[in-house]
């Protein structure tokens, strides 16, 4: 399946930003699951490409001229390779890196008991049952949370979005001793545009990384485009940055994923 992605992020400020640096992770790479036929990120300023500790492509963009508006646009065409979808992902990153605790992926006592209830013995099927139970407990409600919510916050609130489902599931897997990581990317879903920019979890079991899309109960990445992996959202945030001055910031984004 061939997919076209259009991802636009627009920033506005109430006063001049005198200088800024953006750290951008919007660049998918070719791997066993997908082939990047074309991809381009458009952003003003001086740009430099590198890779982070998790092998994600990382663009640094530096602006030294005053501005009140900034747009970052990522566009491209990705071909998903269906023959690889059910075999799990294999890469060179040490899976034990994804056992490291983070503030977003910690468990409280209730979450630990919840995990043991659905995973009395480690195995892919039991982890699927846990993913289903997480969705039943934490209902998907658009715009119900922020990027600052932790797994504990969202579990207690009993509502959230794909980011929250992923953090909760990853936290429980780590507690159970299974490496689990956060994936940012895109999802092609007809008549569900709010899912276009997406996050899900992967679990390292049977010597490979397997997809656990809790929000959609998908366990094969048949319509997913991988952009970046990390321990939680903050390792893979599409745009992070620092700026000098600028007053109050406002941001809006548009993401389209179309079959082509």
Instruction: Classify residue 159 by burial, with Cβ atoms within 10 Å: 0-12, 13-18, 19+.
Output: middle
Specify whether 48 is located in the same domain as 100: no
Looking at the structure, tell me whether residues 169 and 115 fall in a common domain. Answer: yes
253 in the same domain as 180? no
76 with 112, same domain?
A: no
24 and 37 co-located in one domain: yes
Q: Are residues 61 and 122 in the same domain?
A: no
Give me the CATH number covering residue 33: 2.60.40.2250
Query: b/e map of 38-50 (b: 16 or more CB within 10 Å)?
Result: ebebebebeeeee
* pTM: predicted TM-score of the whole model, two decimal places: 0.93
Q: Are residues 125 and 175 in the same domain?
A: yes
How confident is the prediction along the chain (260 residues), in pLDDT tens digits per residue? 999 999 999 999 999 999 999 999 999 999 989 999 999 999 999 999 999 999 999 999 999 999 999 999 999 999 998 765 677 888 989 999 999 989 999 999 999 999 999 999 999 999 999 999 999 999 999 877 888 899 999 999 999 999 999 999 999 999 999 999 999 999 998 765 445 689 999 999 999 999 999 999 999 998 999 999 999 999 999 999 999 999 999 999 999 999 98
Q: Which structural domain, as residue segments, surrounds residue 53?
A: 2-81+238-259
Shared domain for 220 and 247, answered yes or no, is no
The total number of structural domains in the chain stands at 2
- Is 140 in contact with 165 (CB distance < 8 Å)? yes
Cα distances (angstroms) measured from residue 105 to each of 59, 108, 199:
26, 10, 14
CA atoms of 31 and 91, how far apart (whole Å): 9
**Joined tokens for residue 172:** 């429980």
- The CATH number for 229's domain is 3.10.620.30
What is the DSSP code string of 74-103? EEEEEEE-GGGTTS-B--SS-GGGGGS--T
Do residues 242 and 231 both lie within one domain? no
């Amino acid at each position: 399946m061939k997919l076209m992605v259009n991802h636009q992020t627009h920033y506005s400020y109430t006063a001049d930003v005198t200088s800024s640096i953006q750290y951008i992770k919007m660049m998918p790479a070719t791997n066993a699951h997908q082939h990047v036929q074309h991809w381009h990120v458009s952003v003003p300023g001086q740009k430099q490409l590198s890779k982070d500790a998790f092998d994600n492509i990382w663009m640094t963009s530096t602006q030294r001229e005053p501005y009140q508006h900034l747009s970052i646009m990522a566009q491209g065409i990705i071909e998903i390779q269906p023959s690889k979808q059910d075999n799990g992902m294999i890469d060179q990153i040490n899976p034990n890196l994804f056992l490291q605790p983070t503030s977003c992926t910690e468990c409280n006592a209730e979450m630990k008991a919840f995990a043991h209830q659905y995973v009395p013995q480690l195995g892919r099927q039991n982890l699927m049952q846990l993913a289903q139970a997480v969705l039943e407990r934490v209902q998907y409600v658009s715009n119900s949370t922020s990027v600052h919510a932790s797994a504990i916050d969202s579990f207690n609130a009993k509502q959230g979005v794909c980011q929250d489902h992923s953090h909760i599931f990853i936290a429980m897997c780590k507690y159970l001793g299974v490496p689990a990581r956060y994936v940012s990317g895109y999802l092609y879903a007809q008549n569900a545009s709010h899912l276009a920019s997406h996050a899900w979890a992967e679990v390292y079991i049977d010597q490979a990384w397997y997809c656990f899309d809790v929000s959609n109960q998908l366990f094969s990445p048949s319509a997913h485009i991988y952009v970046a992996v990390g321990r939680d959202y903050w390792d893979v945030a599409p745009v992070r940055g620092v700026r000098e001055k600028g007053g109050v910031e406002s941001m809006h984004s548009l993401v389209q994923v179309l079959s082509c």
